[in-house]
A and B are shown apart, each in its own frame.
Chain A
């Protein structure tokens, strides 16, 4: 048993970067304020002192330049880990993400691969200004050639980040900033990976399967505990990767319960909940006891913070959603 440290999610991200940079000289970090400042959320704290300005690079303020330069670096065999300061600012780099990051391998018939991991804090709940709270993982999950990973615990944050950096293909690694510092967990000091594409069962139960990921995992678990007091046992599945989805885990949990609720903070229309519902329809229709319930953000621009509590799914909303599925 190796030594562990008691870390928050953002400390685990930092620890993951540190471990991978120690393991592999080809790993480097670039972005705005990632160097001396250590990142606006401190996700790269201390890395500059440890690895120097050639591997922890403060770039000009230019998202397309950051992603595009990382594409070029990765094509030449480095493992760049570009950071976009907030996922709401990924759009200036969107063309590079979908036109090149996702397609370089296919376009070159695998002569080039892009072992790059684009990190960004995402999601709401921290009273941030406009454009700092978006949850647009569906854009990237819709794009073939990318993988999209969203951790919900410190242990997973480090292990999934390591797996992403070591992956031969490009990964969009979205970090739920609402839980960056919400709790701690024992995290091994040594490097390890958590496989991309595998969901984790966070709670077992026979009455209803609740699928979620990222920051919504905690209110979902809270709702499940509350309902347990009323005798309703929820299976809570944390997807951890939204592309590729763990179909097997989704189908398996659904077949055992016959009922499903999907929880995410992203808007409802075109969101991952629709995809998960479709998987259930395609693979497990005959097990279905109730309509699949979606508890999500609304189809409105993410609100300024005075109203964000009303926008984000809460334990109470999730409980209502679960009750609807259970009582159908």
Chain B
């Protein structure tokens, strides 16, 4: 039976909250499992450091992801190298797994546009801030692949709040109509800033919204990385290699929780109880996978300690590398609005250059 043939409110689970196996363990090798664990540890540590950098004034506003590692790492691990990821603005972990260097993520949140330029061989779309606006892009991009007869699949991330936006409905509807190779991955982290999931929709689940568009919808325990992997892998496989009588696109609702604030500019204590946070912290995906891997004999104290040390080093190196990048050359302001700079913009660039020449950069900078 397909993983998609189940009730919308029956989330796929592989590991329970104590790391006990309660479902079908996906067919992954020991090293792949350890990689998932390593990536989760890496982004958890990265996230803490990023919040701290923001507090120290070394980084701008930053959207934390702690709690969502299971959904991000589990889903992105299922991508093939040639597949595309279309993120919102919180998928630092998923993007890392798909090849985006941590340094790029840091640079973006440190205010460097260059952080949004993924290396040519990394198939990640730029960050999309307006809620749900990336959903039609994923549909269009995957539609292009289908028209060209290539076999990439597209994994598009968004939150629970995004399902209230028109663009979610338009994008998913188009995907259904044109049967595009798209996987819509909803990180239902329970809160759209301060507004709870219950205020986004009267629907009992977000997964069931797929029904309206004639595509598969499935719920998964988003804090169970193995379940997320299994569901996403099945959805990507179906997108690439469609089954008869099944739509190619899938809507996955990954139920999870954001432990921290929406962004570093947000104070969640205003709108939610500590009890609730503690209840969800008991479902933390990291100890859950660790317990399982220890019970399987794949991890032990020594290996965990090694991973911890490596993770700290890698994040520290990425921070050093990002902070070593000089302020972008100011003339870059004008460089990427158009392929060929139009005459008026050229004039503005020259005027700007002349002003810097005569007045110096101190005329622009406060520090």
Check: B28 CB closer than 8 A to any chain A CB.
Answer: no
CB of A216 to closest CB in B, whole Å:
23
Given contacts A60-B177, A65-B171, A244-B342, is CB(A75)–CB(B137) below 8 Å? yes
Please, which residues of chain B bring their CB within 8 A of the CB of A80? 140
Check: A72 CB closer than 8 A to any chain B CB.
Answer: yes
Q: Report the nearest B residue to A62, measured CB to CB.
A: B170
A69 B116 Cβ-Cβ under 8 A: no
Check: B354 CB closer than 8 A to any chain A CB.
Answer: no
Q: Report the nearest A residue to B172, measured CB to CB.
A: A65
Contact of A75 among B127, B130, B141, B338 (CB under 8 A): B141
CB of A80 to closest CB in B, whole Å:
8
Contact of B139 among A72, A107, A112 (CB under 8 A): A72
Could you tell me the distance between the alpha carbons of A96 and B134 in the complex, rounded to whole angstroms?
9
Contact of B336 among A57, A72, A105, A244 (CB under 8 A): A105
Please, which residues of chain B bring their CB within 8 A of the CB of A69? 136-137, 139-140, 143, 171, 174
Q: Report the nearest A residue to B346, measured CB to CB.
A: A244
Check: B291 CB closer than 8 A to any chain A CB.
Answer: no
Please, which residues of chain B bring their CB within 8 A of the CB of A73? 140-141, 143-144
Q: Which of B137, B138, B344 has the most CB of A within 10 A?
A: B137
Please, which residues of chain A bring their CB within 8 A of the CB of B145? 76
Check: A238 CB closer than 8 A to any chain B CB.
Answer: no
Could you tell me the distance between the alpha carbons of A109 and B112 in the complex, rounded to whole angstroms?
10
B140 A68 Cβ-Cβ under 8 A: yes
Given contacts A99-B130, A106-B113, is CB(A72)–CB(B166) below 8 Å? no
B133 A68 Cβ-Cβ under 8 A: yes
Find residues 83-133 in chain A having any chain B CB closer than 8 Å to their own CB: 92, 95-96, 99-100, 104-113
Could you tell me the distance between the alpha carbons of A71 and B142 in the complex, rounded to whole angstroms?
11
A169 B137 Cβ-Cβ under 8 A: no
Interface stretch of the complex, out of B12-20, B118-126, B293-301: B118-126
Check: B167 CB closer than 8 A to any chain A CB.
Answer: yes
CB of B139 to closest CB in A, whole Å:
5
Could you tell me the distance between the alpha carbons of A99 and B130 in the complex, rounded to whole angstroms?
8
Please, which residues of chain A bring their CB within 8 A of the CB of B138? 72
B136 A110 Cβ-Cβ under 8 A: no
B171 A247 Cβ-Cβ under 8 A: no
Given contacts A54-B147, A69-B139, A72-B137, is CB(A104)–CB(B170) below 8 Å? no
Q: Which of B120, B125, B145 has the most CB of A within 10 A?
A: B125
The number of chain B residues touching the other chain, given as a range, is: 35 or more
Q: Report the nearest A residue to B328, measured CB to CB.
A: A109
A245 B344 Cβ-Cβ under 8 A: yes
Please, which residues of chain A bring their CB within 8 A of the CB of B125? 75, 112
Check: A144 CB closer than 8 A to any chain B CB.
Answer: yes
A 47-63 to B, binary, CB cutoff 8 A, 1 in contact else 0: 00000001001011010
Q: Which of A70, A72, A105, A112 has the most CB of B within 10 A?
A: A72
The number of chain A residues touching the other chain, given as a range, is: 35 or more
B128 A70 Cβ-Cβ under 8 A: no
Please, which residues of chain A bring their CB within 8 A of the CB of B147? 28, 54, 78
Check: A77 CB closer than 8 A to any chain B CB.
Answer: yes
Q: Which of B141, B147, B170 has the most CB of A within 10 A?
A: B170
Q: Report the nearest B residue to A59, measured CB to CB.
A: B174
Could you tell me the distance between the alpha carbons of A311 and B352 in the complex, rounded to whole angstroms?
41
Check: A64 CB closer than 8 A to any chain B CB.
Answer: yes
Could you tell me the distance between the alpha carbons of A154 and B142 in the complex, rounded to whole angstroms?
36
B140 A100 Cβ-Cβ under 8 A: no
Check: B135 CB closer than 8 A to any chain A CB.
Answer: yes
A100 B133 Cβ-Cβ under 8 A: yes
B143 A104 Cβ-Cβ under 8 A: no
B338 A65 Cβ-Cβ under 8 A: no
Q: Report the nearest B residue to A76, measured CB to CB.
A: B144
A68 B339 Cβ-Cβ under 8 A: no
A105 B114 Cβ-Cβ under 8 A: no
CB of B127 to closest CB in A, whole Å:
8
**Nearest 5 A/B pairs, CB to CB:** A72-B140, A68-B136, A65-B170, A69-B140, A72-B141
Could you pull out 23 A-B pairs where Cβ atoms are within 8 angstroms?
A: A59-B174, A60-B173, A64-B170, A65-B174, A68-B133, A68-B139, A68-B170, A68-B171, A69-B139, A69-B143, A71-B140, A72-B139, A77-B144, A78-B147, A78-B148, A95-B130, A95-B133, A100-B137, A109-B116, A109-B117, A112-B126, A168-B339, A169-B339
